[in-house]
Structure 1
Amino acid sequence: MEQVNKYLSAAASAATVSAFLKALNNGDFEGAGELMDENVRFEGVLGSVEGRDEYVRQMSKMKLRYHVKKLLYDEDSVSVLYEIDMGGKNVLTAGWYEVHDGKITHIRVIFDPRPVLS
Structure 2
Amino acid sequence: MEKSGAFIESSKDIVMEYFQATDNQDWQLARGSLSDNFSYLSPVNSFDNPESYLKYFKRQYQLRGLTKLDIKKVFPDGNDVCILQEYNSQIMCFWIKVDDKGKINSIRAILDPRPFMQQK
In the alignment, residue 49 of structure 1 is paired with which amino acid? Answer: F
TM (norm. structure 1) is 0.82
| Structure 2: gaps spanning 5 or more residues | none
Residue 11 of structure 2 contacts residue 76 of structure 2 at CA under 8 Å; is this kept in 1? yes
**Runs of 4+ residues deviating >3 angstroms:** none
Give the letter for the 2:90 counterpart: V
AA aligned opposite 2:51: D
Say yes or no: does 1:38 pair with 2:7: no
Structure 2 counterpart of 1:80:
83
- Equivalent residue number for residue 98 of structure 1: 97
Whether the aligned pair in 1 keeps the contact of 2:44 and 2:117 (CA below 8 Å) is no
Displacement after TM superposition at 1:40 (Å): 0.1
Secondary structure, counterpart of 1:107 in structure 2: strand
* Structure richer in strand, relative to its length: 1
Output the CA distance in 2 between the equivalents of 1:116 and 1:35: 25
Query: Could you tell me which amino acid in structure 1 is paired with residue 94 of structure 2?
Result: G
Shift of 1:13: 0.3
**2:108 aligned partner:** 108
User: CA offset at residue 93 of structure 1?
Assistant: 0.1
The CA deviation string for residues 56-79 of structure 1, in whole angstroms up to 9 with x for no partner, is 111111113311000001111000
Letter of the structure 1 residue corresponding to residue 78 of structure 2: E
8 Å Cα contact 1:38/1:53 also seen in 2: no
Greater share of helix: 1
| Corresponding residue of 2:56 | 58
The aligned length equals: 108
CA distance in structure 1 between the aligned counterparts of 2:49 and 2:37, rounded to whole angstroms: 4
Q: Percent identity?
A: 26
**TM-score, scaled relative to structure 2:** 0.81
Secondary structure at 1:18's aligned position in 2? helix
- Match of 1:46, SS state, is coil
Counterpart-to-counterpart distance in 2, 1:30 and 1:79:
23
